Structure 1
Amino acid sequence: MDEKNVVVERMKQPAMDECNIEIVERKGIGHPDTLADGISEAISRALCSEYRKQFDDILHHNTDKVTIVGGSAKPEFSGGEVLEPIFILLAGRGTSKVGDRSIPVNEIAKAAAKEYLEEVMRFLNVENQVEINSRIGRGSMELREVFDRSSDLPSANDTSVGVAYAPLSETERLTLRTERILNSKKVKEKLPAVGEDVKVMAWRQGEKVDLTVAMASISSLIDDLDHYLSLKEEVADLILDYAAEITDKTVDVHVNTADDLDKGIIYQTVTGTSAEQGDDGMTGRGNRVNGLITPGRPMSPEAAAGKNPKNHVGKIYNLLAQKIANDVAELDGVREVFVRALSQIGRSINKPYLLSVRVLPESGGKMNIIGSDAKTVVNNWLSNIQDITEEVVAGKLSMY
């Protein structure tokens, strides 16, 4: 790595916790956009596994173009039915032929999508309530091209930028944890009628945090309106209990504010996702790699989920930036850090065109020492950048 391409400088903006206004969003695992992300990533991992099995290498693919078209459903107390299935289109690119060997890319993709949905959605009958069509574009390459490659690191396939920051603010941690708690095994066992489609929007002003939670309920597990209203109260109380473990600020919780009891409108679903009732989803429209949507923070425009983990810097550099940010945030004297990793198409992935580290030091923090230590962190990750690829393939890193 050329040292001149690593720039460490002091950040002059205030820490997020010192800002008067903060807005944070988290789209839960059952939200249509997050489902699209999850499917994209599941397909990529499945293809990585097959390519390595056959060729001991990760071949070219990008499956970051999943679209979910909402269906139609009729939820009702103690029952309900899906009238029109959710339609999912799998798109992108994959290597389907190497020499005279064929790889059934679309079949692998459909199987991976189905398996993912069955894993995350308890009440979605994938066989009967989902229609999956795979139109992943097919490419081919010669065997010699696969096996005659040198051991050099792959080159960046795009000119792109990865963005990350650390640590999470108190409000960000609260937002992330709220959704994860509601979709945890513990809460599903206690309150099984809580669906997977949970969206959390947090707004902090000064010392007050306002949480608006959209929570799909499972209609077959709701006896009547009183039962539904009591579930909302239990969920709000549970959120407040967990919030007290994170913050001393005043927290207000609002659950399913679109309900209109006079019109008989409540947030019920048959399957646990709003995709059953016409809400659509698409890869890249939801959470960034840290699991959040943060309009007051720097965010990457890239859809990381589904991009290949070998040389697609739209994925690798966002994860790299997050790894670096997390480690630099742990250094003595660092309060916040903001990392930008810029690639240039054709350059080795361990040689970014620019790697910018902006640090907000704590009072008394010495930038000369922080800068030296931060460069050590950067060079360590660049020297081991393929560890990120391995963690992605193993499913150890989340994109959403």
Structure 2
Amino acid sequence: MITIEAFRGNSILDQQVEIVERKGKGHPDYICDAAMDAVSVALSQEYLRQFGRILHHNIDKSLLAAGSVEMRFGGGRVTRPMELIIGDRATFSVGDRRIAVEKIAIDAAREWIRRNLRFVDPELHVDFRVVLAQGSEELTGIFARPGEVMAANDTSAAIGYWPLSPTELAVLSLEQHLNAREFKERFPETGEDIKVMGMRWGNDLELIVAMPLLARFIESEGEYFARKKIIEREIGEFLTGIPGFGRKLASLNTLDEPGRGLGGVYLSLLGTSAEDADSGQVGRGNRVNGIIALGRPLGTEAAAGKNPVSHVGKIYNVLSHRLAREICEEVEGVKEAHVILLSRIGAPIDRPLMAAAQLLMKKGKLTGDVATRAEEIIERRLAGINGFCMELAAGKYPVC
């Protein structure tokens, strides 16, 4: 069933207050989400290579347990590695043929860490524990059912929206700027564990940034605050290029207090708080559009690590945002779109129990005038869902 209706609420832009959060790639929650999705992609590709199809797996249960370090100005050492627990379910064999699931999982997680966290050596600084097991007969049996389109393995709902607001874009773009290669080359003393909290009050924007400086580059408390001042200036210059706001304020590491030595600065040995301060978990990080927006509708599913061909918690989460964007970009007169997808366990994923688009129209435009075109876009995407699932299996769409 496809329903197109007018959005009855107010745009987020009409709200007096808007709050948006973004966790960067060094945040423990982001690490869990991204690393587990990398495991799912690696397993999917191995299943395709060996069997020509993706087999049952869900790598969406993970915990990154914080380690311990001894730190000083100028350096330090790891005294206890972090531990990344990789869990839930996977297919280990088909007939007499075995799949090296544990090795694939650890290799994929290590490679993600190696490519994204400059100072974390996954061989030395992270212990891996794989607690994957075979899935239940009923859920694994979905993959053996006949039909060109896989059946949904859950009754679940997802919601996506477009466009992103200026506040959402500001929060997202600032974190991406601070974690970009060019920025890290100019400021190698900055870590990857970045968190940006944005608040819009009326037309004013305030961004609160947490980003550690790396002990190996900072020889004293004085140097820390000198470098921090330079980085704050850089953040301020970046904000001047963000349009659409009146007053724009930014602050960095607001817990800092001069005169307290190591107790008054945000210093890190490896660039992530998982080294000794904060553990991480799948599902506590960004939504699939890269942000946590408190004034927007939020789904309850953690998309990261779920299999890309039957788990609607992943498929519909990503697809709902894609559909909302395509409706806004392809249908004249649509100002904002919300798309809701609801599955019924056992039904083919291309036939959701409900696909609803709620459209906020531009002045002078009516929902009824564009309903047919919006419905066609949804039908087109659902008809091509197998291709979309293969793109998910290849890691084309980020989930955090």
Name the structure 2 match of 1:342. 342
Query: 212-221 or 230-239: which moved more?
Result: 230-239
User: Using the alignment, how far apart are the partners of 1:64 and 1:75 within structure 2?
Assistant: 33
Sequence identity (%): 39
Is 1:386–2:386 an aligned residue pair?
Answer: yes
Q: Which residue of 1 aligns with 2:319?
A: 320
Does residue 1:61 correspond to 2:57, yes or no?
yes
After superposition, the C-alpha distances for 1:348-387 in whole angstroms (9 at most, x for unaligned) are 1000100111111111122112212111111111111122
1:108-133 deviations in whole A, cap 9, x for unaligned? 11111111111110001211111111
Question: Quick check: 223-232 or 90-99, which moved more?
Answer: 223-232
SS at match of 1:53: helix
Q: Which residue of 2 aligns with 1:283?
A: 282
Q: Which moved more, 1:130-139 or 1:25-34?
A: 130-139
Q: Does 1:38 align with 2:27?
A: no
User: Match of 2:193, SS?
Assistant: strand
Partner of 1:359: 359
- On the 8 A contact 2:28/2:281 being kept in 1, the answer is yes
d(CA) in 2 for partners of 1:168 and 1:342? 23
Could you say what secondary structure the match of 1:375 adopts?
Answer: helix
Superposition pairs of residues 76-115 of structure 1, within 5 angstroms:
76-115=72-111
Work out whether 1:162 is the aligned partner of 2:158.
yes
Q: Which contiguous aligned blocks of 4+ residues in structure 1 show a shift greater than 6 angstroms?
A: 145-148
Q: Deviation digits for residues 158-214 of structure 1, max 9, x if unmatched?
A: 000111110000000000001100000110111111111000000110011110101
1:271-298, CA deviations, whole angstroms, 9 ceiling, x for partnerless residues? Answer: 0000001300000111000000011100
Question: 2:3 maps to what in 1?
Answer: 7
Separation of aligned partners in 1, 2:106 and 2:255: 35
The answer for unaligned runs of 5 or more in structure 2 is none
Q: Given that residues 96 and 140 in structure 1 are in contact (C-alpha distance below 8 angstroms), is that contact kept between their aligned partners in structure 2?
A: no
Map Cα deviations across residues 300-348 of structure 1 (whole Å, 9 max, x no partner). 1111000000110000001110110001121211111111100000111
Is the 2:19–2:294 contact (alpha carbons within 8 Å) kept by the matching residues of 1?
A: yes
Residue 147 of structure 1: how far off its partner (Å): 10
Q: What pairs with 1:177-256 in structure 2 (closer than 5 Å)?
A: 177-249=173-245, 250-256=247-253
**1:106/1:9 Cα in 2 relative to 1: closer, same or farther (>3 Å)?**
same
* CA deviation after TM superposition for structure 1 residue 140, in Å: 9.2
Paired residues, number: 393
Q: Distance in 2 between matches of 1:358 and 1:96?
A: 42
Q: Tell me, what secondary structure is at the counterpart of 1:137?
A: coil
In 2, distance between residues paired with 1:83 and 1:270?
Answer: 11
The amino acid of 2:203's aligned partner reads: E
Secondary structure of the structure 1 residue equivalent to 2:219: coil
The one-letter code matched in structure 2 to 1:26 is R
Specify the code of the residue in structure 1 equivalent to 2:260. Answer: K
Counterpart in 2 of 1:120? 116
Structure 1, 268-277 or 81-90: larger mean CA deviation: 81-90
Q: What amino acid does structure 2 have at the position aligned with 1:262?
A: G
- Aligned-pair Cα RMSD in Å: 1.7
Structure 1 spans left out of the alignment, 5+ residues:
none
Query: Do the aligned partners of 2:56 and 2:143 also contact (CA within 8 Å) in 1?
Result: no
Structure 1 Cα separation of the partners of residues 15 and 252 of structure 2: 26
The 1-side partners of 2:209 and 2:144 are apart by: 53
Q: Name the amino acid aligned to 2:257.
A: D
Residue aligning to 2:43: 47
| Change beyond 3 A, Cα 1:158–1:146 | closer
What letter is aligned with 1:274? Answer: S
TM-score with structure 1 length normalisation? 0.95
User: What's the TM-score, normalizing by structure 2?
Assistant: 0.95
* CA–CA distance in structure 1, aligned partners of residues 359 and 240 of structure 2: 29
Per-residue deviation, 1:149:
5.8
**1:176 is the counterpart of 2:172:** yes
- Say which SS state the counterpart of residue 368 (structure 2) adopts: helix
Secondary structure of the 1:209 match is strand
